[in-house]
Amino acid sequence: MSRLGRRLLAEFVGTALLVAVVVGSGIMAQNLAPGQIGLQLLANSTATVFGLAVLILILGPVSGAHFNPVVSLADWWQARQRGTGLSSRELGGYVLAQALGAIGGCLLANAMFAVPAISWSSTERTGAAVWLGEIVATAGLILVIFALTRTGRAAAAPVAVAAYIGAAYWFTSSTSFANPAVTLGRAFSDTFAGIAPISVPGFVLAQLAGGVIGFLLVQGLFGRPGADVPEAVSGEPTASR
């Protein structure tokens, strides 16, 4: 398999497993603690923190462990400034792999819990306050990731990124999706972690806005990147070389 092929496979598998963790733990929490929303969210967020940390640790050396189109877009834009990093062709491949992986991961979680493979979510998540929550969640995520890479601390990404997402589950009104691919995938499950298809466009637009804000914050705090700045999340992929 080519170097790019391995990177795309890592993004597909990583995003699929991330969504399987999010949706699967949501279904399990819903089954074990019916009606207890706070306990369900605690279980869901805890599983997501541990699952995301492990996935970044394992797949980061292959693809950078983006698992998120906003992260890939930010890395592509940074690459335009420093002359290296994701190309436009690689960006398209990453986004497609992430979207397909997210859908596949949701279908897998549904299958594991004997839920219909495609059961469109009926949970509407909408309104200015919720969209603001997604903007904050995504901006913070981009800031965490790129602050680490810009200061040579990418090795801390598995812990720092997972910890931020876990915290943002609780301090944002949207429970921190912060990821267009994951948002798309979660529309395929009418369970605790689902989002109604009608709510997906608003979330994605808020996430893109948050990505821009987060990247501008990184630029303001750390300036323009030099040619030696590694890729997000966890450094320049090496395993595929």
Contacts of 223 (CB under 8 A, 6+ apart): none
Specify the number of domains making up the chain.
1
Tell me whether residue 234 is in a domain.
no
* Segments forming the whole domain that contains residue 152: 3-222
**Residue 77 above 50 pLDDT?**
yes
Tell me whether residue 240 is in a domain.
no
Tell me whether residue 130 is in a domain.
yes
Tell me whether residue 87 is in a domain.
yes
Q: Report the pLDDT value the prediction gives residue 241, as an integer from 0 to 100.
A: 27
Tell me whether residue 238 is in a domain.
no
- pLDDT classification of 80: cutoffs 50, 70, 90: confident
Q: Report the pLDDT value the prediction gives residue 79, as an integer from 0 to 100.
A: 82
- pLDDT classification of 225: cutoffs 50, 70, 90: confident
**Count of CB atoms within 10 A of residue 87's CB?**
13
Between residues 16 and 82, which one has the greater pLDDT?
16
Tell me whether residue 70 is in a domain.
yes
Q: Report the pLDDT value the prediction gives residue 224, as an integer from 0 to 100.
A: 81
- pLDDT classification of 139: cutoffs 50, 70, 90: very high
Q: What is the mean pLDDT of residues 99-114?
A: 98
**What CATH number is associated with residue 101?**
1.20.1080.10
Rounded CA separation 223/215 (Å) = 11
Tell me whether residue 239 is in a domain.
no
Tell me whether residue 146 is in a domain.
yes
> Which tens digit of pLDDT belongs to each residue from 180-205?
999 999 999 999 999 999 999 999 99
Measured on CA atoms in the order 143, 89, 195, 200, is the torsion positive or negative? positive
Q: What is the mean pLDDT of residues 22-28?
A: 98
- pLDDT classification of 76: cutoffs 50, 70, 90: very high
Q: Report the pLDDT value the prediction gives residue 231, as an integer from 0 to 100.
A: 64
**Residue 112 above 90 pLDDT?**
yes
Pick from 123, 101, 100, 130: nearest CA to 198? 123
pTM value is 0.92
Record the tokens describing residue 114, joined without a space: 């004997």
* Secondary structure in 3-state letters for 157-207: HHHHHHHHHHHHHHHCCCCCCCCHHHHHHHCCECCCCCCCHHHHHHHHHHH
Query: In the predicted model, what is the mean pLDDT of the chain?
Result: 93
**Residue 12 above 90 pLDDT?**
yes
